[in-house]
Amino acid sequence: MHRSKLPDEGITIFAQMSALARKLNAINLGQGFPDFTPDKTIIEHIRQAFLNSTHQYAPMKGNEKLRHVLAEKINYFQKTNLTENNITITAGATQAIFCAITAFVHPGDEVIILDPGYDSYRPSVLFNSGVPAPVLSTPPLFKPDFNKIKDAITDKTRIIIVNTPNNPGTHIWTKQDWETLAEILSDREDIIVLSDEVYEHIVFDGRKHVSVLSIDGLKQRAIAVYSFGKTFHATGWKIGYAVALEPVIIEFDKIHQYVVYAVNNVMQEGLASYLEWVKQTKGFDSLDQSHFFEKKRDFLYNALTNTRLKPIKPEGTYFMLADYSALSQKSDMEFVIDLAHQIGVVTIPLSPLFINPPENLRMIRFCFAKREETLQQAVEKLSLL
- Structure confidence by residue, pLDDT tens digits, 196-249: 999 999 999 999 999 999 999 999 999 999 999 999 999 999 999 999 999 999
- Structure confidence by residue, pLDDT tens digits, 72-81: 999 999 999 9
Packed helices 290-304 and 372-382: angle between N→C axes, nearest 10 degrees? 20
Contact 363, 323 (CB under 8 A): yes
**Closest Cα partner for 296 from 268, 316, 271?**
316
Q: Within the chain, where are the H helices?
A: 13-24, 40-52, 64-78, 93-104, 121-127, 146-152, 175-184, 228-231, 248-259, 265-281, 290-304, 332-343, 372-382
b/e code 222-255 from CB counts within 10 Å (16+ = b): bbbbbbbbbbbbbbebbbbbbbbbeebbebbbeb
Asked if residue 340 has pLDDT above 80, the reply is yes
> What pLDDT is stored for residue 360 in this prediction?
87
Contact 105, 159 (CB under 8 A): yes
List the end-to-end C-alpha distance of the chain, in Å, as a whole number: 48
Sign of CA dihedral 49, 52, 57, 58: negative
240-243 vs 192-196, strand pairing mode? unpaired
Stretch 38-58: mean pLDDT = 94
Packed helices 265-281 and 40-52: angle between N→C axes, nearest 10 degrees? 130
- Which class in CATH covers the domain with range 13-31+289-382? alpha beta
Asked if residue 368 has pLDDT above 70, the reply is yes
Asked if residue 261 has pLDDT above 70, the reply is yes
User: Architecture of 40-284 per CATH?
Assistant: 3-Layer(aba) Sandwich (3.40)
At 117, the pLDDT band (50, 70, 90 cuts) reads: very high
Asked if residue 2 has pLDDT above 90, the reply is no
Stretch 55-70: mean pLDDT = 97
Sign of CA dihedral 202, 203, 205, 211: negative
- Structure confidence by residue, pLDDT tens digits, 140-179: 999 999 999 999 999 999 999 999 999 999 999 999 999 9
Asked if residue 1 has pLDDT above 70, the reply is no
At 255, the pLDDT band (50, 70, 90 cuts) reads: very high
Contact 177, 211 (CB under 8 A): no
> What pLDDT is stored for residue 11 in this prediction?
86
Distance CA 316, CA 294 (A): 9
Asked if residue 62 has pLDDT above 80, the reply is yes
Stretch 111-122: mean pLDDT = 96
- The amino acid at residue 230 is K
Q: Within 260-314, where are the H helices?
A: 265-281, 290-304
Per-domain residue ranges of the chain: 13-31+289-382, 40-284
